[in-house]
Amino acid sequence: MAEFPKREYFFKPVMQAIQVLGGSGSNDEINNKVIEILKISEDLLTLPHKNTNQTEFEYEMAWVRTMLKSQGLLENSQRGVWSINASADFSLLKLKMDNQLEFQVSAEVNEDENWKERVIDVITEYLSPAAFERLIQRLLREKGFTQVEVTGRSGDGGIDGRGIARINGILSFHIIFQCKRYKATSKVGSKDIRDFRGAMVGRTDKGLFITTASFTRDAIAEATRDGAPTIDLMDGDKLAEKLKELNLGLKVELKEIVKVDEDWFKNFEKAV
């Protein structure tokens, strides 16, 4: 297995990936495009990060995006979409950072990862499978789904629930969902996706697979395989983000930042 590249190696490919994506992209879209551009091997993609539940690649991608943001080249929305700053000057891209800036970026990335790990740990340690299904039921209701029913305890062919998703209050479609309460270090594989799709046959053309863990690349490919009903995926990272967005079990505390206006004080010297 080749050695994992230094993070500076990813700066330009990340910018290139976002440009190829049309100037903006989600975390997953950017990561997948960088993988495609650099042809990163599966061995490197599955290498675990030593201090988090992420892979080394996922952690470095988060670090690089945050560093590019700190340099004024990228900006991100509350919905987790990254875009190229309209006033970005690419000639100012720094490949080497001073220690203080590196520390600040690492602290920001780690802080973001820590709360997500904590909420997933709480779910996997304190909630039973049935309680997790009820949590997902609540989340889907908060997102506008109607007639959300949990069926997992009835052994309904591996299906844990069903509901109706509405679009703009006009269109609607039936979905079925499956919930897997796995440890964050676990992976949902392509077999799980195929089994779920098999349970969908004759019931609906739309499925949602939700897990506290993550999906293998084969599972992601299987979920969108041509000629088969599409299955939407929600991993632990996305689950944590949705809980935060809906204020479900998470409280966002805003930190007060006090800045001293030196010019305001200096005006007293001018007054006579």
Number of CB atoms found within 10 A of residue 37's CB: 14
According to the model, what pLDDT value does residue 99 have?
Answer: 67
pLDDT at 72: 84
Q: Which domains does the chain have, with CATH numbers?
A: 7-124 (1.10.10), 128-245 (3.40.1350.10)
Q: What is the pTM of this model?
A: 0.72
In the prediction, which pLDDT does 95 show? 67
pLDDT of the residue at 1 = 45
Over the chain (272 residues), the average pLDDT of each successive run of 10 is 78 91 90 92 84 82 87 81 82 68 71 83 92 94 92 69 84 90 87 91 87 91 88 92 90 77 81 62
CA distance 134 to 11: 41
pLDDT at position 153 is 59
**What CA–CA distance (Å, rounded) separates 202 from 200?**
6
Q: Where are the beta strands (DSSP E) in the chain?
A: 24-26, 74-76, 81-84, 146-150, 161-167, 171-180, 187-188, 207-211, 214-215, 231-234
Q: What amino acid occupies position 119?
A: V
pLDDT the model gives residue 191: 94
**Res 178: pLDDT:** 94
- 3-state SS, residue 69: helix
